Amino acid sequence: MQPQDARALSASAQEALRYRVVKAVQEGMSKAEAARVFSISRTALLQ
């Protein structure tokens, strides 16, 4: 499955996705796993 381009999401959907990803990583999920689970690129997590 290819990562989705989050830029195509609305601003509120982008914000919700960011909060979900950050919370998952803070709770112990690896960045690589978060990228896979949320269908985003690992590069996006580094920004």
Check residue 37 and give its pLDDT: 92
Distance CA 4, CA 34 (A): 13
* The predicted structure's pLDDT at residue 2: 63
Count other C-beta atoms under 10 Å from residue 9's C-beta.
13
| Segments of the chain with pLDDT less than 50 | none
> Is 11 buried (19+), middle (13-18) or exposed (0-12) by CB count in 10 A?
exposed
The dihedral sign for the CA sequence 42, 44, 45, 46: positive
How much is the pLDDT for 8?
Answer: 84
